[in-house]
Amino acid sequence: MINSNNRLAVIVDQQKQIPALFHMVKELKLVERDQQEIDPATLWLKKLLVFNKKGTYDYAVEKNNDLINSYLKDIFDDKVFKVSSDFENIIDEVYLFAGKPKPKKEKKKMIIDITISLPKAKKRRKRKVTVFSNFVKVGLSQHSIKHDWLGHEYVIINRNRYEIYRDWYGKGYLVEL
């Protein structure tokens, strides 16, 4: 990637972004004018970073004042950024200055662990059901047949109502309602 800008100035006016700026410069392996490593404390005291491609260095740390600030836009052609308001633009411009692509932000992956437990289906006990003329025998227990006002036959077993239907031959069977 060819760097599109040769010079830019960064005014350090907020202290909380200094470590990120410091690590970015260190990661890009940019060389300071005095061949010394900058540290966050020095950057906060001097408050101006000037990126300018020269033969032996890439950037310089300068002292900042109002007089210098008034001429920065004329010198750097609108490539003057403040840390407090233009931090994302600073990152883009410094990566362009270094000639390297900006690292892509990783999307946060959302992982949710869900445990679903289903109750096991109860095996129904098969019991022999025999329907007689006036009672029903289910397993070993007997239940009497009752009649409703419409003349339907029914039996109540374990609080459930079962109607008795009979076929042509008189053989009965239970139907749950």
Pairing between β-strand 7-11 and β-strand 80-82 as defined by DSSP bridges: parallel
**Rounded Cα–Cα distance for residues 145 and 40 (Å):** 93
> What's the average model confidence in pLDDT over 94-120?
80
**Predicted local confidence at residue 102, as pLDDT:** 73
Q: Does residue 165 have a pLDDT over 80?
A: yes
Q: List the one residue out of 94, 70, 77 whose CA is nearest residue 10.
A: 94
Strands 146-147 and 141-144 come out as unpaired
Distance CA 136, CA 155 (A): 8
pLDDT tens sequence across 136-154: 998 889 999 999 999 889 9
Least-confidence region, from 40-44, 87-91, 100-104, 170-174: 40-44
H or E element in which residue 47 lies: strand 47-52
DSSP 22: H
Helix (H, G, I), strand (E, B) or coil at 79: coil
Per-residue pLDDT tens over the stretch 3-15:
456 778 888 887 7
State the pLDDT at residue 143.
92
User: How do residues 35-93 score in pLDDT, each as one tens digit?
Assistant: 766 666 766 666 777 787 777 777 777 777 777 777 777 777 777 888 888 888 888 88
User: Does pTM surpass 0.85?
Assistant: no
Instruction: Give the per-residue pLDDT at 3.
Output: 47
